[in-house]
Structure 1
Amino acid sequence: MADPVAALPKPDRAALVAHARETIARGSKSFAAASQLFDRTTRERVWLLYAWCRACDDIADEQDLGGELGTTPGGDAAGRLALIRRLTALSLTGRPTGNPNFDALGVVAAECGLTQAMADDVIDGFALDAADWTPRGEADLMRYCFHVAGAVGVMMAVVMGVAPDDDDTLDRACDLGLAFQLGNIARDVAEDDRGGRCYLPAEWLAGADIPPGEQLRPCYRAALVDVAQRLAMLAAEYEASARVGAARLGFRQRWAILSAAGIYGAIARKVAAGGPRVWDGRVFTSRNEKIAHVLRAGLQALGRPAPAPHPRWSRTSLKALASGKMPRPQEA
């Protein structure tokens, strides 16, 4: 029997770049704005990697470019995860998949040396969602953030030319992804709740006297603000670490990363300062705010970042936790 994949035409790079550019423009206005600061080659590669990340997320969550989470009764989460794994593995062999988002990964992986292990770190986050996983404590929260965002930061850093054995810089790149995801979790409490999910650690909610599943009730909103502020403080710690790593990149790359850090960091800070009704709408940064962050980042890129230690949960410790090589710590 003929292999249907073998009959697929070889993907055209220019067409994939055009598709990826449209995808990021629709899926993340903040990241699209920051990506314009890269040189052309890096920018295209970032777009190609983003297209794969966005497609995996949308397939896993039955979304359309990051919209509302799917709530299909009896949805085949395991089947969607298997599809992601199959298409990803196929693309990393250099073979066409018939899906431009996965073909995009094949192109950028071949150009930059992205590996199956790097992709698996990201896909393992979708596996947690497919298993209806929820975090018990901070370690669980950070493990999830590593898979869905920190591991993406590592891949992005390699795309920008960071050597695969430059562990400290890759750790800092991972920290930026962790910062972004912590801010996203704080912002998306209501959206996640509508999709039947909660990424707020159960121990944090219990400590704030918020019963499971009741965090959005008016009587618990003030306590929920305290939880969001805790997330924002953690995000700020990881953002500060990431800025140290960004200083090791070329100027245009540094400017782009610092712009993204400012734009996404502002979201976490807005949620923390927004009060009990902040989840009645969706927090975002306006066009003028994005421009201000880009201009500020340009000045920051000319200077040196403030020293910042590695946060408690590093890429290495989170990978060990995920693999079972590190016991789950006892948390206060």
Structure 2
Amino acid sequence: MNLRHHALAVLKETSRTFYIPISILPAGLLEAVASAYLCMRAIDEVEDHPDLDTVTKARILRQISLNLQGMGEKSTPEAFANGLATYKGILPEVSLRVGEWALLAPESIAPRIWDATAAMADRMAYWSERNWLIETEADLDQYTFSVAGAVGLLLSDLWAWFDGTETNRSQAIGFGRGLQAVNIVRNHREDQRRGVSFFPQGWEVKDMHRYARYNLSLADQYTKSLPAGPALNFCRIPLTLAYGTLDVLALGKEKLSRNDVMALVNQATR
């Protein structure tokens, strides 16, 4: 099995939201977006790890960042994973194989993905050391940019690299923030059980719904401005699922069912 097939297999195991839109992308763009997603999922699994303390998380994240910053055209997967062997058996496969995901992207765009992932890992290390303390809406904006708004900017760069598609970068940030805010609402109870809350002080669930819907309105504008093509096909799916998730959460359900997901995907791809 080649690296592309390995990546898609791991992607399918880790994300039902993004596997479908990534898997339908054309060659070249598929490898670039899959590389970006898996690299960022690799560091996300460190940030969310239930058995690592915040100091250890920050140390691992900064090591991954430094590894990415030291890469070049002759780098090997092992170089990207420098310092991670200590955590074999603790970190999941997607994190330990970050070097393979980093090298999946086409050579002409790979350094942009490495840069974005390195910067995100550093920001995650900061938030880990802060124990994800979010006191104000400004803090929330900073966090959601750190882990998601910046992904919107990277996607805009990937669309432009692939076929010259131009996008509104402010709306791209809203796209990422909106998806992240939906995740925050969905995972709120689970986060509370591990002693973390991404809600600013005094906020209730309805306030986070408002925040999510505002940013999803920017995502709407972003998506509607895209020309017919792979970027539009990609963005429609997670945006439709985000709205669907908010709707079921508002009804008191925990998440979309598998049937709900498939129905929404069919709706987004018609």
TM-score normalised according to structure 1 size: 0.66
Q: How many angstroms apart in 2 are the aligned matches of 1:260 and 1:83?
A: 30
What percent of counterpart residues are identical?
20
- Residues 181 and 73 from structure 1, CA distance in 2 versus in 1: closer, same or farther, beyond 3 angstroms? closer
1:131 aligned partner: 130
- Match of residue 17 from structure 2: 30
2:211 to 205, 214, 234: 234
1:85 equivalent to 2:56? Answer no
- 5 Å matches for 1:274-285? 274=252, 278=253, 283-285=254-256
Query: Out of 237, 241, 245, which is 1:259 matched to?
Result: 237
| Post-superposition offset of 1:196 | 2.2
Gaps of 5+ in 1: 1-13, 63-69, 205-226, 300-332
After alignment, is 111-120 or 96-105 more displaced? 111-120
Contact 1:137 1:201 in 2 (8 A): yes
Partners of 2:175 and 2:126 in 1: CA distance: 22
Runs of 5+ unmatched residues, structure 2: 82-96
Shift of 1:190: 1.8
Shift of 1:153: 1.9
Q: What is residue 143 of structure 1 aligned with on the other side?
A: 142
Structure 1 position 284, deviation (Å) = 2.8
Please give the per-residue CA displacement for 1:149-202, whole angstroms capped at 9, x wherever unaligned. Answer: 111122122223369x99952222221110111011111112212322111111
1:104 matched to 2:86: no
Evaluate the alpha carbon distance shift between residue 121 and residue 270 of structure 1 in structure 2; reply closer, same or farther with a 3 A threshold.
Answer: farther
- Indicate the residue corresponding to 1:114 in structure 2: 112
Contact (CA 8 Å) 1:150, 1:173: kept in 2 or not?
yes
Q: Quote the offset at 1:95 in angstroms.
A: 1.5
Cα distance in 2 between the residues matched to 1:87 and 1:250: 37
Structure 1 residues 125 and 59 mapped into 2: Cα distance closer, same or farther (>3 Å)?
closer
Mapped contact 1:183–1:268 kept (Cα < 8 A): yes
Residue identity in the other structure for 1:146: F
1:44 aligned residue? 31
47 and 166 in structure 1: CA distance in 2 versus 1, 3 angstrom threshold = closer
Distance 1:290 1:184, change over 3 A: same
Instruction: Tell me the equivalent position of 2:192.
Output: 193
Distance in structure 2 (CA, Å) of the matches to 1:129 and 1:271: 27
Output the amino acid matched with 1:90. G
Q: Does the CA-based 8 Å contact 1:145-1:178 persist in structure 2? A: yes
Deviation at 1:102, TM superposition (A): 3.0
Compute the displacement of 1:270 (Å): 1.9
CA distance 1:103–1:250, shift in 2 (3 Å): farther
Aligned to 2:75: 95
Instruction: Identify if the C-alpha distance between structure 1 residues 111 and 290 changes in structure 2 by more than 3 Å, giving closer, same or farther.
Output: farther
Does structure 2 conserve the Cα–Cα contact (< 8 Å) formed by 1:34 and 1:294? no
Q: CA deviation at 1:273?
A: 2.6
Question: Counterpart of 2:261 in 1: which secondary structure?
Answer: helix
Output the TM-score relative to the length of structure 2: 0.80
Residues 198-228 of structure 1: CA deviation (Å, up to 9, x unaligned) = 1111142xxxxxxxxxxxxxxxxxxxxxx22
- C-alpha contact 1:91 1:106 (8 A) present in aligned 2: no
Give the Cα–Cα distance (whole angstroms) in 1 for the partners of residues 231 and 27 of structure 2. 11
Change in 2 beyond 3 A, CA 1:176/1:96: same
Quote how far apart the aligned CAs of 1:28 are.
0.7
- Kindly indicate whether the alpha-carbon contact (under 8 Å) linking 1:91 and 1:105 is maintained by their aligned counterparts in 2: no
CA distance in 2, matches of 1:54, 1:91: 19
Higher alpha-carbon Rg: 1
Closer, same or farther: CA 130–110 of 1 in aligned 2, 3 Å? farther
Whole-angstrom distance in 2 between the partners of 1:87 and 1:32: 26
